[in-house]
């Protein structure tokens, strides 16, 4: 049985440092990914995500101000997050330099999925802190509510784009925009159901 424990203020501090760095890295990743996007719908989608990510960075900056934290403070964990973000940007740039536009678009989608997986987890954990610490919740809950639904959207929709772009690259019929986009998926269950609807959307039956 899991034991209830006191929230570690040091780890909350670390989580917030990593969360801010993830958003900053996300801005750079989306900026690069948009350049690699070939599909017009995907380019538009990522443009919207870029603006939302900029807003998320601003939301966290306000949280730092309220908690009297230094937005430029580094930690070993934050340094790793920064390195990972820069590496994903570099991966997209490398793919674009190869001259294969479809391949670069696919690499960009994979990089966005990797970045959004970390981003989504950060906010999920911030939500857990909100549930267990009433004092921190006064500051973190408004931020969490402002951002969390966007993070679900970013992750599940880009996972759908990545899957369908791979299917297209493999020479099989793809659903573009993906089912997650068409059905406006916002949850893991919704994403699973959307993926299961692929055959119907392709007009095929088992």
Q: What is the pLDDT of residues 164-198, one digit of tens each?
A: 999 999 999 999 988 877 656 566 545 566 566 67
CATH number at residue 90: 1.20.1260.10
Residue 181, domain member (yes or no) = no
Region 69-95 average pLDDT: 98
Amino acid 6: pLDDT: 82
Residue 149, domain member (yes or no) = yes
Q: Is the pLDDT of residue 1 over 50?
A: no
Residue 20, domain member (yes or no) = yes
Residue 130, domain member (yes or no) = yes
Amino acid 61: pLDDT: 98
Residue 91, domain member (yes or no) = yes
8 Å CB contact between 115 and 26: yes
Residue 66, domain member (yes or no) = yes
Residue 23, domain member (yes or no) = yes
The residue segments making up the domain with residue 68 are 9-155
- Burial class (CB within 10 angstroms; exposed 0-12, middle 13-18, buried 19+) of 22: buried
For the chain, what is the domain count?
1
Residue 182, domain member (yes or no) = no
Question: 129-158: per-residue pLDDT in tens?
Answer: 999 999 999 999 999 999 999 998 899 899
**Percent of the chain residues topping a pLDDT of 90:** 80
């Amino acid at each position: 049985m899991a034991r209830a424990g006191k929230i570690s203020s040091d780890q909350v501090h670390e989580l917030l440092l990593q969360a801010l760095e993830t958003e900053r890295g996300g801005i750079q990743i989306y900026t690069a990914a948009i350049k690699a996007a070939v599909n017009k719908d995907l380019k538009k989608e990522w443009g919207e995500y870029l603006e939302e990510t900029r807003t998320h960075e601003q939301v966290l900056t306000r949280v730092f101000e309220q908690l009297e934290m230094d937005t430029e403070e580094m930690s070993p964990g934050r340094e790793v997050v920064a390195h990972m973000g820069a590496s994903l940007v570099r991966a997209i740039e490398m793919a674009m330099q190869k001259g294969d536009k479809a391949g670069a678009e696919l690499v960009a989608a994979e990089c966005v999925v990797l970045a959004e997986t970390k981003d989504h987890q950060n906010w999920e954990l911030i939500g857990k802190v909100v549930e267990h610490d009433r004092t921190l919740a006064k500051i973190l809950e408004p931020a969490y509510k402002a951002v969390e639904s966007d993070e679900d959207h970013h992750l599940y929709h880009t996972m759908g784009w990545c899957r369908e772009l791979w299917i297209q690259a493999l020479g099989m019929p793809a659903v573009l925009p993906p089912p997650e986009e068409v059905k406006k998926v916002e949850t893991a269950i919704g994403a699973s159901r959307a993926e299961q609807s692929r055959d119907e959307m392709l007009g095929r039956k088992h």
